Homo-oligomer: A and B are copies of this chain.
Amino acid sequence: MKKRLTISDIARLAGVGTTTVSRVLNQDPKVKPETRHKIEQIIVEAGYAPSPSARAMRTQRQQVVGVIVSRLDSASEHQAVRGILQLLEQGGYEVLLMESGFSSNKVAEHLNWLRLRQADGAILFAFTGLELDGQADWQDKLVVMARRYPGFSSVCYDDKGAIALMLEHLWRQGVHRPAYVGVELRDSTTGQQRLEAYLAFCRERGISPHYRLGGLSHQAGMEAAHLLLTEQVDTDALVCASDTLALGAAKHLQQSGKTLTLTGIGNNELLRFLFPNVASVDLGYQQAGIAAARQLLAQIEQRQGIAELAMPCRLVSAD
């Protein structure tokens, strides 16, 4: 059991004071280049790394941020998390991932825990019904993902743009009577925003809307597709508010033997594999993660105030 090296071991080996070593560690310019090189070399040779807890204790900065996702295995959140981890880790931060399971209570729990833990900041993936009351002390060190939340920074996807993009695309392909599979309006982004975009498009082109709203599950997509297609309305495409819904709708189409243009949103890998001709829209999840992390760091380091960011989207289609 070899004892861990400390800063004073390095100082002794280099024949300098601990202060100087500390200066090198912290990129303080007030060190003679000669001395710096020597110390750097010794640090590398000895494989020394400063103790994070000692440092945290002294500076009162933990270099820790929490990331609260709704589900770790959600494909979309996962993409964003990738971006977040990348940026934050290279910024020297430790990232604590936690799951909310779509529960405001869980979120509050996690946030409280992070507060006790003295975390420097957090990124929170929003969901329907998210409540951030009594979390005012987080306002300048919290970034909300996927929807705007007054008083906090946020990074949003282009919900309306995505639907518009898809509808335009279909229109050019000759689809003139698209039906829409959406999500309950309690959900302000995937629900409201996307429906609104569908309705706006219908109005603009003078076509009559035909849609169903429901949950955000495969099951819901399947049911909505079933209902839309049994109603005697002339429909030449099923535009879904998300790839999850599209997967459910695809199942319905398949088992009922119907063939119809189907589209989703989210650029989900599995959907693309199982049903390659279902077009989708990439909402820029990874970029959103990176943007959120960047924004959080800027706020933590007091270089910037609260901001509301929006990500661009991009069509993904087999043809």
Contacts and interface: CB of A to CB of B under 8 A. Distances in A.
A136 interface: no
A53 interface: yes
A73 interface: yes
Given A53-B57, A251-B274, 19 more contacts: A49-B116, A51-B57, A52-B53, A52-B117, A53-B54, A53-B56, A72-B72, A72-B73, A72-B78, A73-B74, A73-B75, A82-B99, A94-B96, A95-B96, A96-B96, A218-B274, A219-B273, A248-B273, A251-B273
A269 to B, nearest CB: 9
Interface in A27-83: 49, 51-54, 56-57, 62, 72-75, 78, 81-82
Contacts of A52: 53, 117-118
Contact of A78 (B4, B73, B251): B73
13 contacts: A49-B116, A51-B57, A52-B118, A53-B53, A53-B62, A72-B81, A73-B73, A73-B78, A94-B96, A97-B97, A218-B273, A219-B273, A274-B274
Interface of A: 4, 49, 51-54, 56-57, 62, 72-75, 78, 81-82, 85, 94-99, 116-118, 218-219, 247-248, 251, 254, 270, 273-274
Contacts of A54: 53, 57
A104 B251 CA distance: 38
A209 to B, nearest CB: 28
Nearest to A274: B251
Count copies of this chain in the complex: 2
A51 B4 contact: no
Nearest to A52: B117
Q: Which secondary structure characterizes the binding site on chain A?
A: helix
Contacts of A4: 118
A49 B73 CA distance: 32
A49 B114 CA distance: 11
Contacts of A85: 98-99
Contacts of A248: 273
A98 B49 CA distance: 20
Task: Report, nearest first, the 3 A-B pairs whose CB atoms are least far apart.
Answer: A53-B56, A53-B53, A73-B78
A88 to B, nearest CB: 12
